[in-house]
C-alpha cells in the first residue's frame, strides 16, 4: 500500500502555524489584511473566493471583499488596484482569475504592487524567485514542495518530471524542484513519447489539465505521484489528472483528489499574506 500524502492534514498544520504568526503580529499592533477582488460571478471563482475568505477567518487575517460586476472596465479595475496599492493597511491584493475577456489579465497582474502580490504572479516576483531572491512564491507549486518535505520525501538527486508548462503551475514547479536539487524534466503537449519521459521519474508531477490521463503506463514502479489536476468525472465526482485507482497499485506515494494538492494552495496563500508583512518591513 503506498503512502497517501494527506493535503488536508498538512494544510491544517500550515494554517495553524500561520495563525500563530498572525497572533504575534496582532500583539505588535499589526493586523494582516488581504483584499480579494472578483469580477463577475463565475460559479467556480465564487467557490474559490469563498474558500479563501473562510481560510482568512480561520487564521485571523482580515479580508476585504470587492465583488465587481462583469461589466467592470479594465480602467475601473486598475484604478481600484491603484487605490489598494496605496493603502498602508492592506498587505495583500488578490485578483481572482480568470477575468472577463475584455480585461487584459497580464496588465492587471502587473498593476498589483509586487510587495502585495500574494499570488506570486507579478513579473518581478517571478523573476526574483527564478534567481533565488526574496519574494512571493506561487501558491500551488510552493504547496507541493511543502507536501513533499512534510511527508519525508527525498528530492536531492531524484529524477523529477513535471507534465505541464503553465506560468502558474508547471514552470514554477520545475524551478522549485530544481531548487530542491532534483534533476528536472518538463514535459508538455509537444513532448514526443510522453510515457518514455514520465517513466524515468522518481517524482512525477502532473499538471496537465486532462482528467485521469496519467495511468500506470506513465508511472515507474515505486514513483512518487503528485496530482495537481482538479476535474469532475462523468459521475460528477472530483478527480485529478491522474487515474488514482490505476496508479495507486504501482506508486510508492500519491496525492489524492480531493484532499491532496488543492488544500495546500490556500494554506500557502495564507502564508504569503503573513510573509507580506515581513517583506514590506525589509
Tell me which of 15, 115, 117, 119 is the catalytic residue: 119
207-246 residues near ligand NAD, rule: CB under 6 A: 207-210, 228-230, 241
Of 61-69, 98-106, 124-132, 162-170, the window that binds ligand NAD (rule: CB under 6 A) is 162-170
CA gap 120, 114 in Å, rounded: 8
Q: Tell whether residue 147 is a contact of ligand NAD (CB under 6 A).
A: no
Q: How many CB atoms lie within 10 A of CB 85?
A: 16
Site track 98-137 with ligand NAD (rule: CB under 6 A), x = hit:
----------------------------------------
Q: Rule CB under 6 A: is residue 140 a binding residue for ligand NAD? A: yes
Residues 6+ apart with CB under 8 A from 279: 115, 134, 135, 136
Q: Which residue is catalytic, options 15, 21, 52, 116?
A: 52
Comparing CB distances to ligand NAD, the nearer of 235 and 281 is: 235
191 or 252, CB closer to ligand NAD? 191
User: Which DSSP state fits 260?
Assistant: S
Query: Can you point out the beta strands (E) in the chain?
Result: 3-4, 33-39, 62-68, 92-95, 159-163, 183-187, 203-206, 224-227, 231-232, 238-239, 253-254
25 versus 206: smaller Cβ distance to ligand NAD: 206
Helix then strand then coil, % of the chain, to nearest 5: 45, 15, 40
- What is the CB-side half-sphere exposure of residue 144 using CA atoms within 13 A? 30
What is the contact surface with ligand NAD in residues (CB under 6 A)? 140, 163-166, 168-170, 187-189, 191, 194, 207-210, 228-230, 241, 261-262, 265
Amino acid at each position: 500500500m503506498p503512502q497517501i500524502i494527506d493535503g488536508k492534514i498538512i494544510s491544517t498544520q500550515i494554517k495553524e502555524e500561520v495563525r500563530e504568526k498572525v497572533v504575534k503580529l496582532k500583539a505588535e499592533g499589526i493586523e494582516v489584511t488581504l483584499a480579494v477582488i472578483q469580477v463577475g460571478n463565475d460559479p467556480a471563482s465564487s467557490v474559490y473566493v469563498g474558500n479563501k475568505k473562510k481560510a482568512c477567518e480561520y487564521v485571523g487575517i482580515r479580508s476585504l471583499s470587492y465583488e465587481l460586476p462583469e461589466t467592470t472596465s479594465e480602467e475601473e479595475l486598475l484604478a481600484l488596484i491603484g487605490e489598494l496599492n496605496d493603502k498602508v493597511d492592506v498587505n495583500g491584493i488578490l485578483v481572482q482569475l480568470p477575468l472577463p475577456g475584455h480585461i487584459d489579465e497580464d496588465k492587471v497582474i502587473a498593476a498589483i504592487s509586487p510587495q502585495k502580490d500574494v499570488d506570486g504572479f507579478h513579473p518581478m516576483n517571478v523573476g526574483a524567485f527564478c534567481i533565488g531572491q526574496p519574494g512571493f512564491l506561487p501558491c500551488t507549486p510552493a504547496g507541493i514542495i511543502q507536501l513533499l518535505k512534510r511527508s519525508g520525501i527525498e528530492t536531492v538527486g531524484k529524477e523529477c518530471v513535471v507534465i505541464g508548462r503553465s506560468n502558474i503551475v508547471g514552470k514554477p514547479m520545475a524551478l522549485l524542484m530544481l531548487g530542491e536539487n532534483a534533476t528536472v524534466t518538463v514535459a508538455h503537449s509537444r513532448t514526443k513519447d510522453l510515457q518514455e519521459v514520465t517513466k524515468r521519474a522518481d517524482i512525477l508531477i502532473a499538471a496537465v489539465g486532462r482528467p485521469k490521463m496519467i495511468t500506470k503506463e506513465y508511472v515507474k514502479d515505486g514513483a512518487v505521484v503528485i496530482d495537481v489536476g482538479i476535474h469532475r468525472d462523468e459521475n460528477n465526482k472530483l478527480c485529478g489528472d491522474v487515474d488514482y485507482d490505476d496508479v495507486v497499485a504501482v506508486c510508492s506515494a500519491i496525492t489524492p483528489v480531493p484532499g491532496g494538492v488543492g488544500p495546500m494552495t490556500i494554506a500557502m496563500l495564507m502564508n504569503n499574506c503573513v510573509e507580506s508583512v515581513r517583506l514590506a518591513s525589509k
